[in-house]
Structure 1
């Protein structure tokens, strides 16, 4: 039997041109929109990915179609797909008021049709071919299409943003003038779809995960840019409407992902930036945190970087496979809701830890000695109210055995509470 696999781009190149949230949304959504229109014209076929039913075409609030599709083809489908692509691109060109040639030259849409055996896994078999197609993407000098996705002062909303309540002012997504860009990506997805009989179930599970993730981000006070397959990109404040942190939100999303797809996990790259920090740099930092940090070693991690107004930055990686450390990290984050843990105290604490780094590294494995350290250096009357906090901190330090990780965690807490 024959299968068709299709890939579309250049997604990331287009995203990097965005300077405002609506531009970023438009740059992402246009690819999802094109894929949705193509899928809709072949919806009677058996789709391997993405998950397809009548309900998915009714969702317009966020892009839920990712950059690849695979379906079981029938005679004449390859030729029909060529015509379909041109029809969809012509429709997009008219809606964006740019020429068909500009759209056709900029977008990189490639597909392949292959004969596979009845017991073959279409995703595993076609992915190398689609990867090769992506490597052959041509770089065009014509930026007319990409520029059409950028909003200029006085422009009216077009079909990309009409009725989608997209915040165009980054300040509205900020907490104390800082905002987050979060990239998430599934780990070990090959294991989840290794058995051909699991593919349909996983595709449906991914669709529901994307819907749930979008709702979670919205309730937190953030804004989804893209949610398709196992990929997720969103803006969010550092502290949400419910007073929980960005890490609590990511944990909720990750738990939902693993509930839907038990064989896989979810890694996150988080870039926390000052309101005037360039959007394209924040986007790049988030991707680096995900792919160069979180998805290394055993993956299933949260990597974050905070870039302050001064230009100084700090970062660390929390490995979720180390359940004890991860849970203690999350528990420590909940203390941010307690106003008694004020910035003056946290400033003193993180300064003391930095000053005694050598000593603490020597006793980091010994919880009793760590307790003695804090009893000796924080023994003033006003420190007694922080006993529970010290107990949690010591427990986290002993489990982590990584003072740099602990230091970055405390710097984040101090930053949230009102950094000096």
Structure 2
């Protein structure tokens, strides 16, 4: 009987509910999707993966496409060093956030924060739970793949209810949100695609008005939203 590696990541909901801007909502999803993509890449053969669906050229394209669960079977029933795998994944996520230099080395800081501060935050804040499922110990009716996947869903739901006390530090989730415009992750997803900023909630809600009078609409958005305290998502270093 096969052995399966089962992983779940978070805290997704607790991160989303603290988002106050559109880019913060985006980051709350995209960060975890990127982490799961990295974890998926650590699996030796994509054919071993039960969930999620993935291909070698499956790019995120600026939005979170990966779910929060990973299940794959162990080749030759050999269980890898999962703690080491998770540490590697965290470090790769750090590189995605901060960026690398011409030699491929991670940059020493992002904004006013040295890399070690963000590295510690990710280690303390991110939840990456895992367990190994030995199908041979399951009752006969649960040994079929579709049956134990239903069982796993219940287990994942229980695990995700387990909280984690994040050590109090000088760097908080709000600080992570504040540095989004400086992230290599943000640069790759948006700025490289000629997007200087993410639209505000007001702009998203009134998008249908744009075609009625483009000049008046842009003037209204600039004067009433971007240049006032109603600004939803503006990085004034980027927007001129």
TM-score range, shorter chain: 0.5 to 0.7
2:52 to 41, 50, 62: 50
Residues of 2 paired with 1:13 and 1:109: CA distance? 15
- TM-score after normalising by structure 2: 0.64
Contact 2:124 2:166 (C-alpha < 8 Å) held by counterparts: yes
Instruction: Find the residue that maps to 1:54 and give its secondary structure.
Output: coil
What is the number of residues matched between the two proteins?
183
Q: Which has the higher contact order (CA 8 A, sep 6+)?
A: 2
Contact 2:7 2:70 (C-alpha < 8 Å) held by counterparts: yes
Higher strand proportion (structure 1 or 2): 1
What is the 5 A alignment of 1:138-287?
138-142=164-168, 144=171, 146-151=173-178, 155-164=181-190, 165=195, 167-175=198-206, 239=208
Q: Hey, which bits of structure 1, 4+ residues long, moved more than 6 A?
A: 240-243
Instruction: Find the residue that maps to 1:77 and give its secondary structure.
Output: coil
Following superposition, the deviation at residue 30 of structure 1 comes to 0.5
Residues of 2 paired with 1:7 and 1:152: CA distance? 26
Contact 2:4 2:133 (C-alpha < 8 Å) held by counterparts: yes
Who wins on radius of gyration, i.e. which is larger? 1
Change (3 A) 1:68 1:241: farther
CA RMSD of aligned residues (A): 3.1
Gaps of 5+ in 2: 99-114, 137-142, 213-224, 233-240
Structure 2 partner of 1:115: 134
Residues of 2 paired with 1:138 and 1:54: CA distance? 33
Residues of 1 paired with 2:118 and 2:178: CA distance? 18
Following superposition, the deviation at residue 43 of structure 1 comes to 5.2
Residues of 2 paired with 1:161 and 1:145: CA distance? 22
Residues of 2 paired with 1:119 and 1:163: CA distance? 40
Residues of 2 paired with 1:51 and 1:29: CA distance? 17
- TM-score after normalising by structure 1: 0.39
Following superposition, the deviation at residue 157 of structure 1 comes to 4.3
Gaps of 5+ in 1: 176-236, 244-274, 280-420
